[in-house]
Structures are given as structure tokens and as C-alpha cells.
Amino acid sequence: MSKFVLLCGLILSCALTSSARLNATAAGASGLNPSIQSAIIAAVEKDRKIYGGRTPVPGVLIGVWDGAGHSYIHGFGYADLKKKRPMSSDDHFRIGSNTKTFVVATILQLVDEGKLKLDDPISKFSLGIKVPNENTITVRQLCDMRSGLFEAFDTPQFDKMHLNPEMEFDPRTIVGWAAQQKPYFAPGKAYRYTNTNYLLLGLIIEKLTHDTVGDQIRKRLIVPFNLTHTSYPDTQAIPDPWARGYGLDKNRDWENVSGTIPVSLMGAAGEMISD
């Protein structure tokens, strides 16, 4: 499977609120300057073509909020190509790496509670897996993508995992794939975005709380902030309505790749759902 998968529901902005939920078809009444709306539409349509294949990116949902309280939410294309169902602000998405925001917020709460320090080396937590440079990589460097650890999702093992999307994986197994590879650089010497960092942060959360990372996010963030349309479900299922995910096949046509990667592979790096 290609590592480059364009989701049908490419979210350019994610609002973590249960109020002011606007239907994409009614977004024009938001009060945002019409000229700005036109510029946004033109920019998104341009990018749909740039990042598309023989046809544009199937669907996009964008949200824009300004300091004056104006908002603009607009759907482009389809949430489901087969059914020709238009993209809507009611659609649920696997929000992918927006999950990382929740993970780091949980880490920072644990710092406030005195359960760890950002400059603690990750070896302190005895995570049950040997990681290169674990005595010098800090929690802060994981958060900042400066650990130098190899990208677990770029390993040969990961590429084979879509063959059975129902498989369950321990994050230690996935981090172990990355640990077999040479680090990109010494800790703190550069920046490189890797999902490995946040899989490790998830393990640290679980170690310190004796709870799952999903339950900690629910208890600390989802429930207290009334994020009723946001979840960490630990399952392949996504609530209806939901935007399908699409990738380009060898002919540069869009194919539905929804549910082809085990959700447990994403974990603390990208498992959450929202609308």
C-alpha cells in the first residue's frame, strides 16, 4: 500500500467544540467577508487538483475562524464517491495526527501533577522495549519531534499490515520496528516528524496512570470539555455519517482505502475520531 493516502475528508481546521456546529451548505451566513470566502474556495479547489490524480481530491472539509468571532465551514466534493454523497460538517473523520494534540495535552497535565518532567529521559519509565538513545532522549524531545527515532510507519513491517486490518498490535511491537532502524540523528540535534515519538508518549501515559491512553484522553479532555462528537474508540468502526478515505491506485484513480489499516497501528499517533 502506498504510504501516501489522501483522506476523502481532508480537514484543514478542526474545531474542538460541541456548539456552533454549522452545516456546510449554510456556511455562507457566517459573517466572514465574502471576498475571503471566495479566496478560500479558489485556494482549496486549486489544491484539490494539485494533490489529486486523474480527478481532484474526492472531498475536503474546511473551517476558518477569525478573531472577531466569524466562521466559515464549507464542504467540497464527496464524502462517499460511490454514493455521490456530498461532504458535510456532520461527517465523522479519523482525525489522524490531530490525536497527537490530545496526547501532548495529557502529557502536560501529568507534568502539572508532578508525575514526570519534560526533561526526563525515556529510559526512566521502563516501557518494556529497548529504544536507541533511550538514556538521552527526553519526553520533551518526543513531544517536539526531535528524538531522531526512525519512522515506524516507514518500516517494511508496517507496509505489510494492511493485509489484515482486524489485527491487534501492542504499541511496543510497532516501536520495536522503528528501534531496529538507525536513528536519523542524535537526540535534540534536528527536527523530524515521526509517529514513533507519539506511540512512545502513549506508552508513557499508560505506564504512569496504569490506564489506557484512550481512557486517559476521555477522562481528562473529551468528557470535561464536552467533546460529544470526539472519541478514541479503539475500533475500526466510525459513526455515521462518515467520510471515506481514498488513495491513488497505480492508474492514479481514487480507490476506497477505508479500514485497510488496523486502527491499533495508529494508536496514540492517530486513532481518534471527530466531526
The more confident residue out of 162 and 56 is 56
Residue-wise burial string across 98-134, b where 16 or more C-beta atoms lie within 10 A, e elsewhere: bbbebbbebbeebeeeeebeeeebbeebebebebbbb
> Please, what is the average pLDDT of the chain?
87
Residue 29: predicted pLDDT: 44
Cβ proximity of 101 and 14 under 8 Å: no
CA-based torsion, 220, 193, 149, 272: positive or negative: positive
Q: What is the pLDDT of residue 257?
A: 87
**Per-residue pLDDT, 124:** 97
Question: Given this model, what pLDDT does residue 174 score?
Answer: 94
Reduce the DSSP state of residue 85 to 3 states and report it. strand
Q: What is the pLDDT of residues 86-142, one digit of tens each?
A: 999 999 998 989 999 999 999 999 999 999 999 999 999 999 999 999 999 999 999
- Walk me through the domains of the chain, giving residue ranges and CATH numbers: 6-94+235-260 (no CATH), 97-222 (3.40.710.10)
CB 183 within 8 A of CB 133: yes
Neighbours of 75 (CB within 10 A): 22
| pLDDT score of 2 | 40
Angstrom distance (rounded) from CA 111 to CA 207? 14
Q: What is the pLDDT of residue 6?
A: 40
d(CA 36, CA 46): 15
SS3 58: coil
How far, in Å, CA of 128 to CA of 264, rounded?
18
Contact call for residues 57 and 47 (beta carbons, < 8 A): yes
Q: Percent of the chain at pLDDT above 90?
A: 69
Q: Which of 31-40, 57-66, 183-192 has the highest mean pLDDT?
A: 183-192
The 10s digit of each residue's pLDDT in 180-220 is: 999 999 999 999 999 999 999 999 999 999 999 999 999 99
The cell numbers describing 252, all together, are 492514479
- Residues tagged active-site: 97
